[in-house]
Every structure is written in C-alpha cells, then in structure tokens.
C-alpha cells in the first residue's frame, strides 16, 4: 500500500471490520474503501445523522452488511472481528447543538461499548477524534502534543469534551487492558455524500451558490480552516488502522484558507454571481485551524494528495449532479 509519497508496510491482516456510523458521510467512504481491500464490513448506524442511501450502492456486495444499531445501548457482533472503527457521532455544529445529550452519549457510552467489543474480539480499534479537541487554539499550527483551549461549558463543549473523554477512555483501555488502539484527530473533511443541510461551511456555500443566494460568511471571514478531501482522509485513517501506532495522529490538509476566500472560491467554481453576506460569528468559533501533519508523514507515510481546488471541483460537481437527479425524478 502506498500512502502519500512512500510505501508503508502493513503490520496486520484485517479480514472483517466493524464501522460505527458507517452510513454517515465519512463512514460510508470507509466502508467502500475497506470492501475494495477485500475486507468484510459490518456497518452499524442508528441513522441519526447518517442515511442508508449513503451505502445503497454497497448493499449487493457479498462482504457488506448493514445493521441498525445505537452503540450507546448495546453492541453485539457475532463472529470474528479484526478491526473496529468508531466513527459514530454527530459531527457538524448544527447537529451536535441540536443533539447535545446524544453527542455526549456516543462519545462516552458509545466509545465504552465499542472498546469492549474490540477488546473481547482481540481487534484493532481506531477512534475517530477531531481537531475540535484543540478548541480555539493558542498554538498554530496544531500538533498532537498541544492540549488545547476548550470551553467545557460553551455550546461547542458537548462535542469537544465528548471527543476528549473518548480519547482518554481509548488510552485507558490500551494502558490498562492491553487493547490495540489508535486515535486519529480528523480535521475538516469534505466531499461527496455530505448532507446539503448539515450546516458546515462547504455544503452551505455550495447550496447558496447554486441557488444564486448570498453566501453567508460568519464574522469578517478572516477565520481559517484547513480542508481535506474525503479520499485523502480515508487513506490516512486506513493507514492508521493497518498500523500498530497508538496516536493520536492528526489527519488533515495543511492547506489553510480563510472562510471568505473559501466562499469566493466556491462562487467561482459554480459560476455563481452570488454576493457575500456577513453574519454573526458563532460562540467559541475557532479563529485558526491548521494541522501539523509531521507525525502522520513520519509514522504512516501519509500526506494529502488531492489539492483543495481539485477537491472542491469534485464536490461542487457532485452537489450539482444530485440536484439534477432530484429535478429529473420530480419531473
């Protein structure tokens, strides 16, 4: 397997994997890529924010199984399991602000139950953590040794602290029980299968641009994000899964850009003449965000290869095609 620019030796054989949140945006891409590597996949999802439509194209694959399951209740998967990828959680501010208790439960109870599954099966476990554990960072770019600047009682705290707790619990299972665990801190990921209404910047900007509506930019638009195309993120996650590293490891694209520039870029790519409308900045919104990916490059041989321009082109094309398809069905 080649990750980024140099080959990396896989240290384990994985024949059967469990993916929680597997019908979500990122989870569905993980299921797809695991199947392409001849790994059987058990996809668990309660469809709180995911959708069966995201994995509809996988339903006829003999190695794929979709189960409705809430990992905060109970997790039972018969048969051998070599890998557990815990990706179940609301992930956009719009979702976790609407579902704060559910977000905290999946980060705590969901992590506990899935760690128990991995431990019982003797499986490798990879936790999907997030750049949000760094909060509104005082260190830039963010490296894995940075402890973060998080407001635990702010509106974003339910997600940030759920992920920080899940990291602590994952580490405890590794150190006290010997469970084979790894932690990836995923930075802003985008691409096909994002929900148009999930509240994140890229689908919001694309939808507004395609409709010819003003693009709503928070604050003055100077706050930055580093966006990583989904194919690159999945490669990084699977590089971690097939390794023996504990992490945490940042998975993201160091290509940093302002929200105003992102909005303008999407308007250009859609051919829209939409104006920009500035709105109030959300509480505790991070001012900067850029990963230090040195550890991922050194340990996993991974780095992103899809440029932001190419990734945004693919994403805009996908959203436009979805609209065309919906219009044809309606007609």
Chain centre distance of CA 274: 29
- Rounded CA gap, 318 and 305, in Å? 19
The tens-digit pLDDT sequence of the chain (331 residues) is: 434 445 555 677 999 999 999 999 999 999 999 999 999 999 999 999 999 999 999 999 999 999 999 999 989 999 999 999 999 999 988 898 999 999 999 999 999 999 999 999 999 999 999 999 999 999 999 999 999 999 999 989 999 999 999 999 999 999 999 999 999 999 999 999 999 998 899 999 999 999 999 999 999 999 999 999 999 999 999 999 999 999 999 999 999 999 999 999 999 999 999 999 999 988 888 899 999 999 999 999 999 999 999 999 999 999 999 987 666 666 6
As a whole number, the mean pLDDT across the chain is 93
- Rounded CA gap, 209 and 194, in Å? 16
> What is the tens place of the pLDDT at every residue in 96-106?
899 999 999 99
String of DSSP letters for 134-195 = GBS-SSSSB-TT---B--TTSTTHHHHHHHHHHHHHHHHIIIII---EEEEEE--EE-TT--
Q: Any idea which residues carry the catalytic annotation?
A: 159
Angstrom distances, CA of residue 320 to CA of 196, 241, 268, 271: 11, 33, 14, 12
- Rounded CA gap, 50 and 26, in Å? 10
Tokens matching residue 57: 């194209």
- Say what the pLDDT of residue 5 is: 46
- Say what the pLDDT of residue 3 is: 40
Angle at 289 between CA 85 and CA 145, to 5 degrees: 65
Residue ranges and CATH numbers for the domains of the chain are 14-189+229-253+289-305 (3.40.50.720)
Helix (H) or strand (E) holding 203: helix 201-211
């Amino acid at each position: 397997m080649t990750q980024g620019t140099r080959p990396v030796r896989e240290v384990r054989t994985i024949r059967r994997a469990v993916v929680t949140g597997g019908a979500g945006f990122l989870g569905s891409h993980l299921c797809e890529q695991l199947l392409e590597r001849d790994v059987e996949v058990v996809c668990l999802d309660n469809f709180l924010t995911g959708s069966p439509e995201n994995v509809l194209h996988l339903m006829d694959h003999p190695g794929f199984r979709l189960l409705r399951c809430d990992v905060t209740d109970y997790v039972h998967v018969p048969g051998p399991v070599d890998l557990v990828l815990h990706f179940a959680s609301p992930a956009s501010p719009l979702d976790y602000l609407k579902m704060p208790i559910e977000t905290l439960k999946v980060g705590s109870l969901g992590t506990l139950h899935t760690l128990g599954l991995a431990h019982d099966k003797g499986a490798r476990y990879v936790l999907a953590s997030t750049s949000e554990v760094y909060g509104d960072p005082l260190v830039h770019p963010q490296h894995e040794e940075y402890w973060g600047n998080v407001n635990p009682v702010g509106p974003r705290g339910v997600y940030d602290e759920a992920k920080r707790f899940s990291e602590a619990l994952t580490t405890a299972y590794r150190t006290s029980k010997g469970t084979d665990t790894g932690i990836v801190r995923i930075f802003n990921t985008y691409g096909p299968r994002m929900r148009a209404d999930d509240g994140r910047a890229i689908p919001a900007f694309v939808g507004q641009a395609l409709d010819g509506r003003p693009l709503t930019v928070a604050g003055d638009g100077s706050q930055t994000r580093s966006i990583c195309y989904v194919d690159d993120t999945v490669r990084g996650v699977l590089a971690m899964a097939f390794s023996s590293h504990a992490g945490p490891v940042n998975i993201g694209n160091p290509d940093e850009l302002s929200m105003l520039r992102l909005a303008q870029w999407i308007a250009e790519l859609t051919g829209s003449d939409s104006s920009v409308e500035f709105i109030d900045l959300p509480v505790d919104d991070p001012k900067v965000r850029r990963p230090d990916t040195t550890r991922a490059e050194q340990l996993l041989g991974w780095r992103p290869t899809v440029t932001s321009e190419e990734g945004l082109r693919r994403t805009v094309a996908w959203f436009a095609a979805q609209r065309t398809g919906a219009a044809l069905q309606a007609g």
